Amino acid sequence: MLVIGSDHGGYELKKSILELLRKRGVNCADFGTDGSDSVDYPDYAAKVASAVSSGEAELGILICGTGIGMSISANKFPGVRAALVHDDFTAQMAREHNNANILVMGGRVLTPDQGKRLVEIWYDAKYEGGRHQKRLDKISVIEQRVINH
Ligand code: RB5
């Protein structure tokens, strides 16, 4: 299952992404926001990131104005690898090298077509494992060290 959330700055792009995901038959849940009224991005980052962190969802997508606040917030959650992407290359690498389980984008940075394209690239890409796994393991070690501090 894939969960998606945005603040007001990402609301319009979220609508386009949901349309794409539903067209592709992806099992997804929309965690809001549900309109263009101003809200606080950490609230929506927490909903999506805690679902991914707990294993309730396999993947997540977060969108705010720039994507910066969402990525900072989501990466506080254990096991979350949230990647802010801007172009085809970063979307592909986010999955192939970083095995990013949350894709983050800026609704005020990308056009709807660009955003949909980045979602398709990330969603369809495959994690390469191998040498990259050693690096993800090191991230987990850092995470455990911080949790136990
Ligand atoms: C909201 O105005 C804006 O700050 C937010 O969407 C995001 O860009 C924060 O990183």
CATH number at residue 54: 3.40.1400.10
Any ligand 1 atom below 6 A from CB of 69: yes
Q: Mean of the per-residue pLDDT values for the chain?
A: 98
Q: What is the extent of the structural domain holding 143?
A: 2-148
The alpha carbon of residue 119 and the mean position of all alpha carbons in its chain are separated, in whole angstroms, by 9
Any ligand 1 atom below 6 A from CB of 65: yes
The pLDDT of residue 98: 98
Any ligand 1 atom below 6 A from CB of 63: no
Ligand 1 centroid vs 56 CA: distance in angstroms? 26
Strands of the 82-84 sheet, one edge to the other: 28-30, 2-6, 59-64, 102-106, 82-84
Which residue has 């690498």 as its token pair? 93
Model confidence at 7, pLDDT cuts 50, 70, 90, reads very high
The domain total for the chain is: 1
Model confidence at 134, pLDDT cuts 50, 70, 90, reads very high
Ligand 1 atom 4, closest CA: 65
Which residues are part of the catalytic machinery? 64, 97
Any ligand 1 atom below 6 A from CB of 77: no
Q: What is the pLDDT of residues 104-122, one digit of tens each?
A: 999 999 999 999 999 999 9
Q: What is the pLDDT of residues 57-105, one digit of tens each?
A: 999 999 999 999 999 999 999 999 999 999 999 999 999 999 999 999 9
pTM of the model as a whole:
0.98
| DSSP label at residue 103 | E
